[in-house]
């Protein structure tokens, strides 16, 4: 059994103090990994259902093989792993603005780090997802800037209305979403995780940039208390 609590890393960043910690959850007999930004919890390995659903629901919309997929936000890696677990995925680019998070995976400090770092289909890239999505360059992978993508999966902000940085708000506007859609191939998919229930203003903005949209409410049990939690996964498709 591991120590009951250990801070694995602690780094100052332009966004705040970033920390990675592992604690033993005795009631479940498991290690729990958590990422915090200052005093705010960003990720916990206790809650991964919606992160996995983001990849599963988004990629289920595509009926072709050898998909070129982009994930915005590496975090603990569960969305990336779910994308790699899909047999249709041929190439995965994971963009994260925090190099520290990428280093944690590459150094094996996180449970999925070795799998993600060693998969030849997967590139962990230090980059600004939001800057890339709003740029005029067709592709978001710096190594293939002219290649558009089959799917873009985003899990960074808490929700379109509750962002980690003010600059992120530009993406969730009608103009920002139209620019993001231009990075997708015809019939490509954009999927977004949110901790909130579907927000009508954001659905309207999505509808202005994509041909079809939907908001799937994801329900899952809180592992420590008798309570059902709810997240949302938005799935939008460009015109074929």
Mean pLDDT across the chain = 94
Residue 89 has pLDDT above 60, yes or no: yes
CB-based contact 122:83 (threshold 8 Å): no
pLDDT at res. 224: 75
pTM recorded for the entire structure? 0.94
b/e per residue, 187-207, with b = 16+ CB within 10 A? ebbbbbbbeeeebeebbebbe
pLDDT the model gives residue 12: 93
The reported pLDDT for the residue numbered 223 is 74
Across the range 4-9, mean pLDDT stands at 94
Task: Give the model's confidence band at 234: pLDDT under 50 very low, under 70 low, under 90 confident, else very high.
Answer: very high
Rounded to a whole number of angstroms, the distance between the first and last alpha carbons of the chain is 52
More confident residue, 76 or 14: 76
Each residue's pLDDT tens digit, 118-156: 999 999 999 999 999 999 999 999 888 999 999 999 999
Judged against a pLDDT cut of 70, whether residue 2 lies above it is answered with no
At 153-194, the pLDDT tens digits run 999 999 999 998 899 999 999 999 999 999 999 999 999 999
Alpha-carbon gap, residue 156 to 1, rounded angstroms: 32
Between 96 and 221, the more confident residue is 96
**Per-residue pLDDT at 9 exceeds 90:** yes
**pLDDT (tens digit per residue) in 33-73:** 999 999 888 899 998 998 999 999 999 999 999 999 999 99
Name residue 40's beta-bridge partners.
37
In which band, very low, low, confident or very high, does the pLDDT at 108 lie, cut at 50, 70 and 90? very high
Q: What is the mean pLDDT of residues 223-229?
A: 79
Q: Per-residue pLDDT averaged across 9-28, rounded?
A: 92
Distance, CA of 96 to CA of 19 (rounded, Å): 16
Mean pLDDT (whole number) for 196-207? 97
CA distance 105 to 115: 9
| Beta-bridge partner residues of 237 | 189, 212
């Amino acid at each position: 059994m591991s120590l009951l609590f250990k801070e694995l890393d602690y780094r100052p960043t332009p966004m705040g103090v970033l920390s990675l910690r592992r604690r033993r959850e005795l009631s479940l007999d498991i290690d729990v990994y958590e990422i915090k930004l200052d005093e705010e919890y960003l990720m916990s390995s206790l809650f991964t259902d919606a992160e996995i659903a983001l990849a599963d629901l988004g990629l289920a919309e595509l009926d072709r093989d050898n998909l070129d997929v982009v994930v915005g936000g590496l975090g603990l890696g569960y969305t990336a792993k779910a994308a790699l677990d899909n047999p249709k995925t041929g190439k995965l680019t994971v963009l994260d603005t925090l190099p520290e998070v990428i280093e944690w995976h590459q150094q094996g400090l996180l449970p999925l780090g070795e799998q993600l770092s060693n998969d030849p289909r997967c590139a962990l890239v230090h980059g600004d997802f939001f800057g890339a999505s709003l740029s005029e360059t067709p592709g978001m992978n710096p190594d293939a800037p002219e290649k558009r993508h089959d799917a873009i999966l985003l899990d960074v902000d808490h929700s379109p209305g509750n962002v980690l940085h003010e600059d992120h708000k530009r993406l969730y506007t009608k103009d920002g979403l139209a620019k993001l859609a231009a990075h997708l191939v015809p019939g490509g998919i954009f999927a977004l995780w949110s901790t909130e229930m579907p927000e009508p203003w954001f659905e309207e903005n999505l509808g202005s940039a994509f041909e079809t949209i939907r908001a799937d409410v994801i329900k899952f049990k809180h592992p420590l208390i008798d309570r059902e939690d709810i997240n949302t996964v938005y799935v939008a498709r460009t015109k074929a």
